[in-house]
Amino acid sequence: MIVSMKKITLIVESKDADSTLKELRQSGVLHIEHQNAPVSESVTELEKKRNSLSKAIGALSEATSQKDISCDPEEIVSQILNLCNEREIHRENSSKIKQKIQDWKEWGDFDPEFIDDLKDRNILIQLCKITKKQIQNIPEGVTLEELFKKGNLIYCVAISEKEIDLPFETLSLPEQSLKEMFLVQEKEEDGALQINKRLAELSGYQKALSLYKAKLTSLIEFKRVAAGMGKVERLSYLRGYCPVYNVNLIERLAANQRWGLLIEEPDENDSVPTLIKNPRWIEIIRPVLEMIKTIPGYREMDISAWFLLFFSVFFGMLIGDAGYGAVFFIINLLCHLKFKSSVKNKSIFFLTYVLSSCAIIWGVLTGTFFGQAHLPERVAPLLPYLRENANVQDLCFFIGAFHLSIAHAWRLLRKLPSLKAFSEAGWILVLWTVYFLAKSLILGQAFPAFGKTLFIVGSGLIILFTNPKRNFFKGIGSGIGDFLLHIVNSFTDVVSYIRLFAVGAATVAVADAFNRMASSVGHSNVFLGFLTAFILLFGHILNILLGAMAILVHGIRLNVLEFSSHLNMEWSGTEYTPFKQEGN
């Protein structure tokens, strides 16, 4: 349920602004709406410090022990960033010297200074790369000594008594010998290694730095709120939103501190944040909604309960295997027992229990345990009706029509007592017409006689009551436009639920395929036994992973797109984030 909000305006003398914000932060109930751009020199400076701090923390590895948290965090950050810069220089130098070694290692180890000294004795040596054809163009007075070949190129030394322009590519001598290059590389790598050791020692300050970051974040938010306050002469004011159940707290605080206080109902133009509170059994779906980062607008609807219900059904049908469901259940149970003390929000564990149970139930109903084909005849489905593809497709269309009808029924209740509510009743009738049409076109079943009546009545209600106006013909025109715009989408949305059948059938088919492959290998000896076990393990793990991907793609889509679009939801919400103290 989306919690109702009140718009709060607080007015204080500008000299009391900081003390007001400190008191307000302690209460932690007001979502601030800035009246001015929340920027200032102090905010910019603090954000730079926090960015440096984040880089420093990111450069540290996980520490086995923590050091004194009373250290000077800015000094530690400076040390870490300086070390990181030095390490980067070592790495760049090491990379450059490695490339030089790669370029010159085939030439062997020689002293470039010795070659330079030979010039004083009228012996000029140049290193060359030439082709076989270029050997014929060697100038007079030049002697070539071949060193090695690489592809079509000959690497050689050109020797002469004086400087002669060569008609082919020559190489500049390196600054160091190969031996010296290796020494430089070793030095640079050792320098980076020593820095890593020093950073490992500084990792003990990770907790202290994290606490300092929390304080910085809290201070930045405080400064941003202060900079964003409105000002009129000697008065300052701020505006925000508070859940209705916390308004009394704001009123008492304002009375004690002698603030000016205005409490209003938000109007349509206000950007009201969204706070969702549900019973604990519905809250288990929260991790999924947080993962896909969907927040309904304040004036939209909270679909958490319906999302949990239908997502569980979709999970069961998409995974569709009692064996896989049992694997999910057992793994989740082991993780729950192992991490129950370290995980604060245990919703994900309880959600997984529900989802895996749905997969087990569907697998028992359809007689699917790590596939179907390998099972003996005595392992019969509890509900043989679901073994027929046409029946499952019919069920998918029914679920689609029912799911989307809930959306329109919800909209109908919200529109009452307006006449516009009748248009939603019309769409419900059209959806069930579409259901019968899908069965007729795709499954070859007869279209019922009353289906035409459903369509006529439903389309009439949509056209007449979508936007009823005093001008009858304008209202009719608006209704016709809405009907034509959404009628095709209604058909495709209902039909799109057949993906539940398609993915579920594919899951069973893949499981059966790997089972047959493993069975064809046999287990007549140890090697074949291991190969059979590997095929089964690999195949079913792959199938489970594909099923998990299908949940993310299809199970979530049907709720967030198809269902939500029929609710006319835009997911345009801003999460309620009250101004509160984060660090000490």
- pLDDT (tens place) for every residue of the chain, 584 residues total: 999 999 999 999 999 999 999 999 999 999 999 999 888 889 999 999 999 999 999 888 876 666 666 678 889 999 999 999 999 999 999 999 999 999 888 888 888 888 888 888 888 888 888 888 887 778 888 888 888 888 888 888 888 888 888 888 788 888 889 999 999 999 999 999 999 999 988 888 888 888 889 889 989 999 999 999 999 989 999 999 999 999 999 999 999 989 999 999 999 889 999 999 999 999 999 999 988 888 999 999 999 999 999 999 999 999 999 999 999 999 999 999 999 888 888 899 999 999 999 999 999 999 999 999 888 888 889 999 999 999 999 999 999 999 999 999 999 999 999 999 999 999 999 999 999 999 999 999 999 999 999 999 999 999 998 888 766 666 688 888 888 888 999 999 999 999 999 999 999 999 999 999 998 887 778 888 899 999 999 999 999 999 999 998 899 999 999 999 999 998 989 999 999 876 54
Q: Is the peptide bond before 287 cis (omega within 30 degrees of 0)?
A: no
Closest CA to 273 of 27, 32, 565: 32
Closest CA to 323 of 287, 273, 281, 374: 374
Q: What's the rounded Cα separation, in Å, for the pair 55 and 410?
A: 49
What string of H, E and C letters represents the secondary structure of 90-103? HHHHHHHHHHHHHH
Closest CA to 1 of 273, 276, 242: 276
DSSP string, 99-134: HHHHHHGGG----HHHHHHGGGGT-EEEEEEE-TGG
Say if residues 573 and 297 touch (Cβ distance below 8 Å): yes
- What element of type H or E holds 77? helix 73-104
Q: What's the rounded Cα separation, in Å, for the pair 500 and 392?
A: 9
By the 10 Å C-beta count (0-12 exposed, 13-18 middle, 19+ buried), 358 is classed as buried
Residue 329 Rama label (left phi>0; alpha psi -120 to 50; beta): alpha
Q: What pLDDT, on a 0 to 100 scale, did the predictor assign at position 462?
A: 92
Say if residues 161 and 124 touch (Cβ distance below 8 Å): yes
Q: What pLDDT, on a 0 to 100 scale, did the predictor assign at position 65?
A: 66
Identity of the amino acid at 551: I
Q: Are strands 169-171 and 124-130 parallel, antiparallel or unpaired?
A: antiparallel
Q: What is the pTM of this model?
A: 0.80
Q: What's the rounded Cα separation, in Å, for the pair 273 and 573?
A: 7
Dihedral of alpha carbons 303, 306, 312, 316, sign: negative
Residue 558 is given by DSSP the state I
Q: What pLDDT, on a 0 to 100 scale, did the predictor assign at position 584?
A: 46
Please tell me the total number of residues recorded for the chain in this structure. Answer: 584
Main-chain dihedrals φ then ψ at residue 579, nearest 5 degrees: -75, 115
- What element of type H or E holds 238? strand 235-243
What sections of 203-303 are H helices per DSSP? 206-227, 247-257, 280-283, 286-291
Q: What pLDDT, on a 0 to 100 scale, did the predictor assign at position 472?
A: 63
Residue 111 Rama label (left phi>0; alpha psi -120 to 50; beta): beta
Give me 564's structure tokens.
Answer: 């939500």
Identity of the amino acid at 317: M
Identity of the amino acid at 217: T
